[in-house]
Amino acid sequence: MNKAIFLDKDGTLIPDIPYNINPHVITLQPDSIEGLKLLQNEGYLLIIVSNQSGVAKGYFTEEKLQVVKIKIKELLAVNDILLSGFYYCPHHPQGTVKLFNIDCDCRKPMPGMLLKAATEHNIDLTQSWMIGDILNDVEAGSRAGCKTVLIDNDNETEWMPGEHRIPAIICKSINKAAESILITQLT
């Protein structure tokens, strides 16, 4: 079976520009490339799992998200990093687009995207990690059975507690997260 690093997109892998779908302003987060390479070299698949409620809210279509996916894949590929999957939740319970206006099981903190990816990529979730910048990411990872990292960059503001909302690692960047994950593997 494979193991994976599930990556939140906005605020974790790329700087958070709310509801942005313009590929020209997408960059990778600083202090992420070396860490992603380390994790890839350790055999982890790198997979994005992203809430994209802008689809349900009518701000952009799913087609536009494909452009975002291609841009991120390119930014990673120039650094010899392979993105193995790009999963997104287009739903929101208060959405205006009827098709996506549902209370789904894939919007984080629910684990649906991770579970789907695990099936499609033959991933052992217990050997996998979720990295995100808010506790809803941590909860989704924990509910899926993964270990979790919170990138503490001030994007979490509510700190709502819960049994699934306790990250194994708290750090400031993906590079730091990668170092800690590799150390955890050894112990």
Q: What amino acid positions are annotated as catalytic residues?
A: 8, 10
Among 106, 130, 138, 150, binds Zn ion (CB under 5 A): 106
Among 10, 40, 56, 151, binds Mg ion (CB under 5 A): 10
- Dihedral angle of Cα 29, 32, 137, 148, to the nearest 10 degrees: -160
Tell the smallest beta-carbon distance from residue 113 to Zn ion (Å).
8
Answer with the entry of Zn ion, Mg ion, none that 8 interacts with (C-beta below 5 to 8 A by kind).
Mg ion
Q: DSSP E strands: which ranges in the chain?
A: 3-7, 44-51, 85-89, 129-132, 147-151, 169-171
What x/- string results for residues 116 through 135 when contact with Mg ion is judged by CB under 5 A? -----------------x--
Distance CA 76, CA 56 (A): 28
Site membership for Zn ion, residue 107 (CB under 5 A): yes
| Angle (deg, nearest 10), helices 112-121 and 135-144 | 50
Tell the smallest beta-carbon distance from residue 51 to Zn ion (Å).
8
Contact assessment for residue 155 and residue 14, using Cβ atoms and an 8 Å cutoff: no
Distance CA 137, CA 6 (A): 10
Query: Which range of residues in 20-28, 68-76, 88-96, 176-184 is near Zn ion by CB under 5 A?
Result: 88-96
Residues that bind Zn ion (CB under 5 A): 89, 91, 104, 106-107
